[in-house]
Structure 1
Amino acid sequence: MKVQMKTFSFPSSLTVVLVSVLLAYIYTSNPYFNLETVKSINIPASLSHLTASINTYLINLLSASPPTTNLTISPPTTTITPSQLAAMSGRVQLPRRILKTLLAKPQSEGAGATVRRSIGTPSLRSLNPFLMLDHFSVSPGAGFPDHPHRGQETITYLLTGGMDHEDFTGNRGTLNPGDLQFMTAGKGIMHAEMPRQNPDGSANVGLQLWVDLPKELKYCEPRYRDLKAEEIPTVVTEDDKVKIKVISGKSYGVESLKNLAYTPVVFYDVEVQPGGKVEQEVPKGWQGFAYVLEGGDVTFGDGKDGKEKKVSQWHNVVFGNEQEGDGVVARVDESETKPGRFVLIAGQMMDQPVVQYGPFVLNSQEEVYQAFVDYQSHTNGFERAKGWKSEIGKSMVH
């Protein structure tokens, strides 16, 4: 991936206020911010000094297609017999190369939340078309209060607990364990994501993946698509060694619900018992990764020529996107005492520049600057942000 540093000369029409807004975000280094935070930043006197400071941080990350057709969902659970499994084995002739593995270290995010971020860090700025992957843990009293987005999609997968969401279009809902939400920010959305109070006081845990939008859809209307746990087809082997939730894509002949996101993505939640093995095809040329959620170590690769890697919990495994790669092979050794659980995700790559400041992801610096202006002036998609405050976010106001 080519990283290019560029300088930028401010157009005369941009004001010092806009520059201060940009610096406010840079100084806070937080993808979740609100207008109050921006207004609290003093405007420095020297515009030239401001421009130089901003240029230090301007990085272009250089590295779609319309949504697919709806198909009928498969039965909730499909059991694969040993004979069927044997017939399907060997279908991944050439497993994807492992390019790198990295540990997702915990860090603070939002308002009191903790995330383990593996994509969107200095070690892995982005992974075309993916912008960020957070494994979040949010206790009551913490959360992600009112904040904006433009130009990307988010996929939220709740593992335990409950999360409420609310936005300025009037959408409201709750995610329960196993549910997903596909949110398209498009030209602009302002929303809040807050945890439910669990009876035992435990944290609410899940994954949130940020996906880039193709340039022709950057300014589409915002939308939500929910996928409930009971709607997700599941594949299990008769010996119970492998269980796959087919969130998006196709696995062992079982196909998921379609048309949930604009950017084509396959998404599998895989659990492999000790002694089990899984072979999952991945579309050729798509960028893929696996993130180990919990349990025993998972070995990726087929072992040929020593090309395999044992990976433990909270590690992200980045695969090559070679055209000849069929997919991913993974197993959990018989010696492990726990099953290994991981998500396997891949997306169609895009040939377009990526310029990102926190929740704004566009194709040029000028578009990012305009997003700040639109957000502050409540125009061009952010009209409904004026005076809007979520009900669920009020618990964070002191």
Structure 2
Amino acid sequence: MKKVIETIYGGVNSSVGDMLVNRLLPGQSFKAVGPIVFLDHVYPVTIKDGTTSIPTGEFAHPHRGIATFSYVLNGQLSHYDSKGNHDVISAGGAQWMKAGSGIMHDEKPFSQLNGDIFHSLQFWINLPAKNKSEQPEYMAVKPDAIPELQLPERAGTLRVLLGSFGTTVSPVKTYSEQFIYHIKLCPKASFTLQAKANLECAAFVPACEVMINGTPAGNSKIIIFGQHGDDLVLENPHIKSVDILLFGGEPYTEEIVSQGPFVMNSHAEIATAYREFFEGKYGTIAYR
């Protein structure tokens, strides 16, 4: 039985510097999908002055209580944080940062050639309460470190960005059962994935419209599935490959209190997060 579609949501546009971003989570009628409480789609943008990977610092900001997961579809993205971590990932790579008890970080899209396209996604993954006070961590995941499976009938590929698919496991740390898959579906191909029972699930299609359980979806829209049914039927009617992101996980059963860049379990913890940020306890970023 096909999994029931509860909501299709187009998100809300906002500007981040020179980039236009579509904010899809949280939505109008839903706060999270499993532990994933935030999804930004950075629309494709031409990099005009991206010859350096070092950020200017004007967009540096704090986080606490979550892990951020940035996935690059096109271009390159650099990362700097207040724990001394810095790296660069290219298309097909990801950056995971556990903010834990508090960290400052900065990211910059860049290119060694003017005119290149940058296109990415960022997820915020809510940490269990017991992990929110842990020390921050960072991991750059190069494209060849993300496991990729061939779909049956030459239908395409499935990359395990987060969590597991069968016996294939992403190298990225998780603190609850959760997953993010990037499916590239070949022209005129279809693939049926059986969703795991008791896990919340959503699909995101960044560009070309596809059919998901018989319903058209695309152009930066998110589909939220209900608990009824098992099958996710993905169909590509086009004569070129298309991208589909599937994500979710076990329901987050603790209280979710979100404000600005912090996601905690109470308003008192949010107040503490802000106070410690203003006291300088998250450190500073050394750009080099």
Q: Please name the residue that 2:24 is paired with.
A: 118
Distance 2:185 2:257 in 1: 38
Q: CA deviation at 1:371?
A: 1.0
Distance 1:368 1:209 in 2: 20
CA offsets, 1:258-300, max 9 Å, x none? 45232432121112234311122332111111111223x3211
Q: Please name the residue that 1:207 is paired with.
A: 121
CA offsets, 1:194-236, max 9 Å, x none? 1223414234211100111111111111101222211222222
Amino acid at match of 1:329: V
Structural mapping, 1:156-235, within 5 Å? 156-235=70-149
Distance 2:2 2:163 in 1: 18
- Look up the SS of the partner of 1:351 in the other structure: coil
Q: Please name the residue that 1:256 is paired with.
A: 169
Q: Which of 136, 150, 161 is 2:42 aligned to?
A: 136
Greater strand share, 1 or 2? Answer: 2
Q: Please name the residue that 2:277 is paired with.
A: 375
Q: Please name the residue that 1:9 is paired with.
A: none
Amino acid at match of 2:8: T
Change (3 A) 1:294 1:166: same
Are residue 146 (structure 1) and residue 60 (structure 2) matched? yes
Count matched residues: 280
Q: Which of 325, 329, 340 is 2:233 aligned to?
A: 329
Distance 1:330 1:135 in 2: 21
Q: Which of 185, 205, 211 is 1:299 aligned to?
A: 211
Q: Is the 8 A contact 1:182 1:261 kept in 2?
A: no
Distance 1:115 1:263 in 2: 28
Q: Please name the residue that 2:13 is paired with.
A: 106
Of the structure 1 ranges 171-180 and 143-152, higher mean CA displacement relative to structure 2 is found in: 143-152
Of the structure 1 ranges 336-345 and 144-153, higher mean CA displacement relative to structure 2 is found in: 336-345
Change (3 A) 1:250 1:170: closer
Q: CA deviation at 1:309?
A: 1.1
Q: Which of 245, 260, 266 is 1:358 aligned to?
A: 260
Q: Is the 8 A contact 1:140 1:203 kept in 2?
A: no
Distance 1:346 1:191 in 2: 25
Q: Please name the residue that 2:193 is paired with.
A: 280
Q: Which of 337, 340, 345 is 2:247 aligned to?
A: 345
Q: Is the 8 A contact 2:48 2:114 kept in 1?
A: no
Change (3 A) 1:331 1:266: same
Q: Scaled by the length of structure 2, what TM-score is found? A: 0.88
CA offsets, 1:312-345, max 9 Å, x none? 22111111134xx434221123xx3333321111
Distance 1:315 1:348 in 2: 22
- Look up the SS of the partner of 1:178 in the other structure: coil
Q: Which of 178, 189, 193 is 1:265 aligned to?
A: 178
Q: Which of 269, 273, 290 is 2:203 aligned to?
A: 290
Amino acid at match of 1:298: V
Q: Is the 8 A contact 1:235 1:254 kept in 2?
A: no
CA offsets, 1:326-384, max 9 Å, x none? 34221123xx33333211112221211111111111111111111111111124xx2xx
Identity fraction in percent: 26
Q: CA deviation at 1:106?
A: 3.2
Gaps of at least 5 residues in structure 2 are: none
The structure with the largest alpha-carbon Rg is 1
Distance 2:176 2:48 in 1: 32
- Look up the SS of the partner of 2:276 in the other structure: helix
Q: Is the 8 A contact 1:184 1:261 kept in 2?
A: no
Q: Is the 8 A contact 1:157 1:208 kept in 2?
A: yes
Distance 2:94 2:261 in 1: 20
Cα-Cα RMSD: 2.3
- Look up the SS of the partner of 1:145 in the other structure: coil
Distance 1:312 1:337 in 2: 16
Q: Is the 8 A contact 1:113 1:136 kept in 2?
A: yes
Q: CA deviation at 1:390?
A: 4.2
Change (3 A) 1:103 1:125: same
Change (3 A) 1:270 1:112: same
Distance 1:276 1:254 in 2: 24
